[in-house]
Amino acid sequence: MWFVNFLKSSIGKKSIMAGTGLCLFLFLCSHAAGNATLFSSVSLFQAYADQLHSHPLIVSVFSTGLFLVFAVHATTGTLLFFQNRKARPQGYRVKTRAIKTPWASMTMIYSGLFILLFALIHTAAVSFGDHGRIGETIATLFSSFFYSSFYIFSFLVLALHLSHGFWSMLQTMGANHPRYTLLIHRLTYIVPAFFLILFTSIPLLFFFGTGR
């Protein structure tokens, strides 16, 4: 009962967002590491994919877990969005923000839903495709201007989402201490920039024909 009460509380819901956010962040790290093999060659990436899919139990456990984490993160985020709208039934005539850069925090629900759309398209095109020819699928997909542009735009949205989400996750987990403030402030820029550069390089690599 105490656990249900915790989850239903405002801080409990924040903790769900932070906990699932951390899982998704760790997934992004592992995904980025796998993708980095494409900088070497398509055949190395294909070997990595083959190795991964030679352990069907691990793949099914992790993909089901990832799906659940994603679903909980998206559902709780949407629930919070609607609950928070109700907390101020009548808004202000003048809508001014006191902080200078509210764009990422203001657009979390929209950037989040866009990432959900991207994830659906990406999994349909790649994850549920032929794993034995995944390297070729990637190379063909990214040689298309439309697909490359869509992916690059999605990575920009992901960076925007992370620029608030990463810091917000640490704040919710109570990681707010003067000794680490500067490091956390820097990571707020470094983490989204890292993923943006790494993920964006791959479609660019293939679009400009430099991918092997």
Partner 1 sequence: MKTIDLELEIWRQKDTITAGQFENYTLKSISTDMSFLEMLDVLNEKLTREGKEPVAFDHDCREGICGTCGAVVNGIAHGPEPGTTLCQLHMRHFASGDTLVIEPFRSRAFPVRKDLMVDRSALDRIIQAGGYVSVNTGGTPDGNSTPIPSATAELAMDAAACIGCGACVASCPNGAAMLFTGAKISQLCLLPQGQPERRERALAMVTTMDSEGFGNCTNERECEAVCPKGISISNIARMNREFVKASFLG
Contact residues toward partner 1 (CB under 8 A) are 2-3, 5-6, 9-15, 80, 83-84, 86-99, 102, 105-106, 108, 164, 167-168, 171-177
* Eight-state DSSP code of residue 131: G
Q: CB 38 → partner 1: shortest distance, Å?
A: 34
Give the DSSP letter string of 163-186. HHHHHHHHHHTT---HHHHHHHHH
Q: CB 113 → partner 1: shortest distance, Å?
A: 15
Q: Which is nearer to partner 1, 54 or 95 (CB)?
A: 95
Asked if residue 161 lies in contact with residue 112, where contact means CB atoms within 8 angstroms, the answer is yes
Q: Which is nearer to partner 1, 111 or 201 (CB)?
A: 111
Amino acid at 56: P
Q: CB 171 → partner 1: shortest distance, Å?
A: 5
- Determine the Cα angle at 166 with ends 161 and 168, to 5°: 95
The residues near 12 (Cβ < 8 Å, ≥ 6 apart) are 5, 6
Q: CB 72 → partner 1: shortest distance, Å?
A: 16
Q: Which is nearer to partner 1, 56 or 91 (CB)?
A: 91
